[in-house]
């Protein structure tokens, strides 16, 4: 009986935790956008719950349009380059702007169209570690720390082996502590 209750408890927890996590994140996103909508809403209009969904869809469409315009039209690309040069010349602002561009490019790797992050295997004595090649020119890599892929350490790599694995697959292995996707690491 005790064993049976433990089994059902584990099953219940395995169902509830992802559900609660997703619900919490969606509630956080909805609450944040709800506050933005309330701030932007004219005082003559009464707030309705679905305004948030309309706002999020509209924001998504605007972001897509901006991406399309800046990817398609040469004149807009030219203005963007000139703007970047101008902003980078301004003390402090230029450094912050450039830092922001580099951070965004590192997480949204296709902005420069240089492909996804390369997953690598790092030899550490008899052990093999999972990492990401962040700067192939200078042999720098990010050693992913479990269970959060956002924490880790940047290291100078004496040698490494490129793996036929996507970054998201490496994150899945990492966040599950090796329980999911381990067969992908050959």
Inter-residue contact 51 to 70 (CB < 8 Å): no
Structure confidence at residue 114 (pLDDT): 45
pLDDT digits (tens, 9 = 90+) for 95-120: 888 888 777 766 665 444 445 678 88
Report which secondary-structure segment, H or E, holds 120. strand 118-124
Residue 60 is predicted with a pLDDT of 92
What pLDDT does residue 112 have? 45
- Dist CA 82 CA 20 (whole Å): 47
**pLDDT tens digit sequence for 138-154:** 888 888 777 777 778 88
Residue 168: predicted pLDDT: 80
Contacts of 47 (CB under 8 A, 6+ apart): 37, 38, 41
Number of residues that this document lists for the chain: 186
Predicted confidence (pLDDT) per residue in 129-139, tens digit: 888 888 888 88
pLDDT digit string, tens, across residues 41-97: 888 888 888 899 999 999 999 999 998 998 888 898 899 889 888 888 888 888 888
Question: pTM of this prediction?
Answer: 0.53
């Amino acid at each position: 009986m005790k064993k049976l209750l433990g089994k059902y408890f584990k099953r219940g927890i395995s169902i509830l935790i992802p559900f609660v996590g997703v619900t919490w994140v969606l509630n956080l996103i909805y609450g944040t956008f709800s506050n933005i909508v309330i701030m932007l809403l004219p005082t003559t209009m009464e707030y309705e719950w679905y305004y948030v969904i309309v706002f999020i869809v509209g924001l998504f469409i605007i972001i897509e349009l901006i991406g399309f315009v800046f990817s398609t039209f040469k004149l807009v690309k030219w203005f963007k380059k000139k703007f970047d040069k101008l902003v980078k010349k301004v003390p402090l602002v230029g450094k912050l702007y450039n830092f922001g561009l580099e951070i965004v490019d590192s997480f949204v790797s296709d902005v420069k169209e240089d492909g996804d992050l390369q997953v690598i295997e790092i030899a550490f004595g008899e052990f093999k570690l999972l990492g990401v090649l962040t700067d192939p020119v200078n042999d720098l890599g990010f050693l992913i720390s479990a269970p959060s892929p956002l924490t880790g350490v940047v290291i100078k790599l004496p040698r490494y082996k490129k793996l036929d694995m996507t970054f998201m697959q490496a994150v899945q292995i990492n966040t599950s502590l090796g329980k999911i996707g381990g067969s992908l690491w050959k």
